[in-house]
Amino acid sequence: MAPLSTIAAIVVTYNRHAKLCNTLDHVLTQTRPPDWIIVVDNASTDGTDQVLARYCSDQRVIVHRLRRNTGGAGGFYAGMSRGYEIGADFVWLMDDDCYPHPDALEALEAGLTKAEEAMAMPLSYACSLVKFVDGEICEMNNPGTTWDWGRLMALGQESVLVTHCSFVSVLFPRRVLTRFGLPLKEYFIWFDDQEYSLRVTKESPGVQCIRSVVVHDMGVNRGVNFADVTPENMVKFRYGVRNEASYRLHHQGMGAFIKFGIRLVTQLRSGHVPWPLRVQLLRRLIDGVTFNPKPEYPRSVL
């Protein structure tokens, strides 16, 4: 029997066509296939468009090419808007280096339904267990848990209640987009997923479905730690510091902002990060005081 709900998979890509093919192959062969696969091409320059042309014979694949690179945040913003406009009941988000196991989507959908039945309330999202290529847990994509995280496990379900997660395999119901809007595209990169998942769990938690597994092929298995700042990865950290500072101050208060500042300084010191980089990041911390974008809402079309 065909599923009652429709799902649009959203894959955001930028100059990683080899990994993208792998991701799309995994998405297209799901046991519960998505109804649409929206690939948001962030103005790639490595021939991604030619690679994507091969997939366009599949009616489910929609390529949404942006005129300029808008970062992961802008890509997910555009993809979720498109998914909402074509009438999807759920959007399933991932990066272009995420390889879902064949039953990952089926397990997410079933896990969310079971969890909602058990909790007798609508939940905000369902996310997968994210593993690194070596089978270890992926350090960067661990969700934060609620105080009663084991409530569903006590009822025999293989799911954990969570407060925030990354955009590496997460399923959002349409109503969440209607109620809370879209990710903040102004974040460009980093912390956009945390901000969004924290925003949407204001009314009800999310759930991590342990049986839904994806592999995140991200090169090095490291979480976010300001001790790791180098001139090469500085760009991401610059956005990360500004975005998190903005979130802590404007959504959690001065205490959270100061706490974040102390963590930043402590980690920079422990990593012996060069002073010019430290100064740059502290300036970004200050930028967060005036940087406070507001969410936009998707448009109902179908």
Partner 1 sequence: MDDQSEKQRPIALFELLDESGIGLTDSSAEALDERERRLVVGAANFHALATPGSVLRFTVLRGPRGTFPSLTDRAVHRIEWPHDREAVGSLLIRSIVQPTTASAPPTGVVGLVVEVGGRSEFKDTYRALPGWHGRVRRTARFLAPVQFDAFRQFRTDLVEKMGHGRSLPRMAPVRVNRTTKSTMTGGPPAVIFGLHWLELGGAERWALETIRIAAEVGVTPIVITDRESSNPWITKPELAKAIVVPLTHPMDPVTEAAFLNGLLETFDIRGIHLHHNAWLYGRLPWLKAILPDIPVVDSLHIREWRTSGFVDISVRMTGLIDTHHVISPELRDHMIGRRGLPAKKVKLATLANLTTDTSMTAKRERGVDGPFTVVFVGRFTQQKRPYLFLRLAARLQKHAPGRFRFVMHGEGELAEEIHVLRERFRLETLQVRGPEIAVSHTLTEADVVVIPSDNEGLTLTSFEATAAGVPVVSTDIGSQASLIADGLLCPRHPYRFLDAAAAKIITMTTTPVQYKNWLEEQVIKATEFAKLPLARPWVRELYQGWLR
| Interface map 172-191 toward partner 1 (x if CB under 8 A) | --xxxxxx------------
Interface with partner 1: number of residues (CB under 8 A): 13
Closest distance between partner 1 and the C-beta of residue 202, in Å? 9
Contact status: 117 vs partner 1 (CB under 8 A): no
Q: How far is the C-alpha of 302 from the C-alpha of 95, rounded, in Å?
A: 26
Site string for partner 1, 50-89 (x = CB under 8 A): -----------------------------------x-x--
- By CB under 8 A, the residues from 190 to 249 that bind partner 1 are none
Closest distance to partner 1 from the beta carbon of 175 (Å):
4
* 120 touches partner 1 (CB under 8 A): no
| Maximum C-alpha span of the chain | 61
Helices (DSSP H) in the chain: which residue ranges?
A: 17-28, 48-55, 71-85, 104-119, 151-154, 174-180, 192-200, 234-247, 254-270, 275-290
Closest CA to 223 of 145, 136, 150: 136
Phi-psi region of 190 (alpha: psi -120 to 50; beta: other; left: phi over 0): left
Q: Which is nearer to partner 1, 88 or 241 (CB)?
A: 88
Q: What is the DSSP letter of 142?
A: P
Closest to partner 1 by CB, 272 or 294: 294
Q: By C-beta, is 125 or 188 nearer to partner 1? A: 125
Residue 114 found at the interface with partner 1 (CB under 8 A): no
For 171, left (φ over 0), alpha (ψ -120 to 50), or beta?
Answer: beta
**Contact status: 300 vs partner 1 (CB under 8 A):** yes
- Which pair of tokens denotes residue 201? 């769990």
Task: Give the residues lining the site for partner 1 (CB under 8 A).
Answer: 85, 87, 122, 174-179, 299-302
